């Protein structure tokens, strides 16, 4: 059993050397003779080894292990350090450890005997302070939440008391009784009713407008027919004939009929105008009712529509620029072809000279067209830049509205 315990202990630790010591000469379990034990330590060199280790740096640790274990002592300094060695040096300087108690090598940091215990104590103190801070924060948060709950309960009690008191007073207050009697008849409490009435009136006005427009079209058709008849009669009068008086009478009857038709047309137009004005007034009232509710939605939708319009205009401008560029390229090709044809034409007959002159005029015309197209291209590019700027402003305004 003792051997098994010893082996378990050895497996759990990292011993640098093992020395077997006889505790006593009587082979009694649990008995220790101090003189015998010290004599064995002196003879087998354990005390000398311990003295040598304490004189040097027996404990060592790699920089990654040191950084991972003691990072909590100076997290900001370790994060800003260029390498692990600089981080270890800065951490040891921060805890004000004597430079004689440690050394920093290329890959490891060395400590004198007992310094690792001191480092562990410092680490445990730091962990204790962090845990105390977390505990204090948690307790403070819980206390504040409890206080806020109690405060809300107190305010709720005050509110309930005030409501009950006001209710008790209002039951015997004449002005309150008067108000409760008047309140159902106020317009502010019948918003849905007035809204439905306005919608019905708008629908009726739209239906009547369609009918009035159809009636006006029919009367206008009759009026056009009568005007054509009047024109024919007038032409017959101008041409002369035997039945002049009959035509004059017919013309007067036609004029009277035309006057009647014009009166009917004017009446129909007045009715149409009245229906349109009534519809406009109803639309204005409806818009006033819904303006406060849909104001923000209208602004957002207008901004989105402006953005979409800007995108469409931008695409249209891009297509126009592309078309102008293609036209310029085509005109340039034609100018080049005409120049080649001009060079190929020799000095000959008068007809060839006239053709050359015509070609030159055509070249000049095309050059002017090219200049105009280039100018149009510059204007289109300027318009595109302005559209981009407007689009950026619209996007900024939209983000601002969304942020609000």
In what side-by-side order are the strands of the sheet with 108-111?
Answer: 59-62, 108-111, 102-104
Q: What is the pLDDT of residue 189?
A: 67
**Contact call for residues 370 and 332 (beta carbons, < 8 A):** yes
Helix (H) or strand (E) holding 108: strand 108-111
Instruction: Work out the angle at residue 213's Cα, subtended by the Cα atoms of residues 211 and 219, and round it to the nearest 5 degrees.
Output: 105
* N residues, the chain: 404
93/371 Cα distance (integer angstroms): 77
The number of angstroms, rounded, from the C-alpha of 116 to the middle of its chain's C-alpha atoms is 54
**Which residues touch 219 (CB under 8 Å, ≥6 apart)?**
261, 264, 265, 268
Three-class SS string for 187-233? HHHCHHHHHHHHHHHHHHHHHHHHHHHHHHHHHHHHHHHHHHHHHHH
- Tens digit of pLDDT at every position of the chain (404 positions): 788 888 888 888 877 677 788 888 888 888 888 888 888 888 877 776 777 666 677 788 899 998 888 888 888 888 888 888 888 888 888 888 888 888 888 889 888 888 888 889 989 999 999 999 999 999 999 999 999 999 999 999 999 999 998 888 877 888 877 877 887 777 666 777 778 888 888 888 787 887 778 888 888 888 888 888 878 777 766 665 555 566 667 777 777 777 777 787 787 778 778 777 777 777 777 777 667 656 766 665 666 666 677 677 777 777 877 887 888 788 778 877 877 877 776 666 677 777 778 788 888 888 888 888 888 888 888 888 888 888 888 888 777 777 76
83/88 Cα distance (integer angstroms): 9
63/68 Cα distance (integer angstroms): 8
Q: What is the pLDDT of residue 244?
A: 58
24/31 Cα distance (integer angstroms): 6
Q: What is the pLDDT of residue 310?
A: 67
């Amino acid at each position: 059993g003792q051997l098994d315990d010893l082996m378990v202990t050895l497996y759990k630790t990292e011993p640098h050397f093992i020395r077997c010591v006889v505790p006593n000469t009587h082979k009694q379990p649990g008995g220790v003779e101090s003189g015998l034990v010290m004599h064995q330590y002196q003879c087998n060199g354990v005390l000398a080894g311990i003295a040598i280790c304490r004189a040097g740096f027996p404990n060592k640790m790699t920089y990654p292990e040191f950084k991972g274990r003691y990072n909590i002592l100076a997290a900001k300094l370790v994060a800003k350090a260029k390498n692990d060695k600089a981080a270890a040096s800065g951490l040891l300087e921060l805890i004000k450890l004597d430079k004689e108690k440690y050394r920093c090598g290329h890959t490891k940091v060395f400590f004198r005997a007992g310094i690792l215990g001191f480092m562990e104590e410092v680490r445990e103190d730091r962990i204790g302070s962090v845990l105390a801070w977390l505990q204090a924060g948690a307790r403070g948060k819980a206390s504040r939440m409890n206080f806020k709950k109690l405060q809300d309960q107190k305010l709720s009690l005050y509110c309930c008391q005030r409501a009950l008191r006001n209710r008790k007073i209002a039951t015997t207050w004449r002005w309150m009784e008067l108000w409760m009697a008047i309140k159902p008849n106020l317009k502010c409490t019948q918003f849905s009713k007035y809204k439905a009435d306005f919608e019905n009136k708008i629908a009726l006005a739209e239906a009547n407008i369609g009918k009035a427009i159809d009636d006006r079209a029919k009367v206008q058709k009759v009026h056009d027919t009568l005007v054509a008849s009047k024109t024919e009669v007038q032409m017959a009068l101008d041409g002369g004939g035997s039945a002049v008086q009959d035509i004059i009478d017919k013309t007067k009857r036609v004029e009277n009929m035309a006057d009647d038709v014009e009166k009917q047309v004017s009446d129909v137009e007045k009715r149409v105008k009245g229906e349109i004005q009534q519809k406009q007034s109803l639309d204005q009232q409806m818009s006033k009712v819904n303006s406060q509710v849909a104001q923000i939605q209208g602004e957002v939708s207008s901004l989105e529509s402006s953005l979409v319009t800007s995108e469409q205009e931008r695409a249209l401008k891009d297509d126009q620029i592309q078309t102008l560029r293609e036209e310029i390229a085509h005109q340039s090709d034609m100018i080049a072809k005409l120049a080649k044809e001009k060079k190929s034409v020799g000095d000959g007959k008068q007809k060839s000279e006239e053709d050359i002159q015509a070609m030159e005029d055509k070249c000049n015309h095309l050059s002017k067209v090219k200049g105009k197209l280039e100018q149009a291209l510059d204007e289109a590019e300027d318009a595109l830049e302005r559209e981009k700027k407007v689009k950026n402003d619209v996007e900024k305004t939209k983000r601002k509205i969304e942020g609000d």
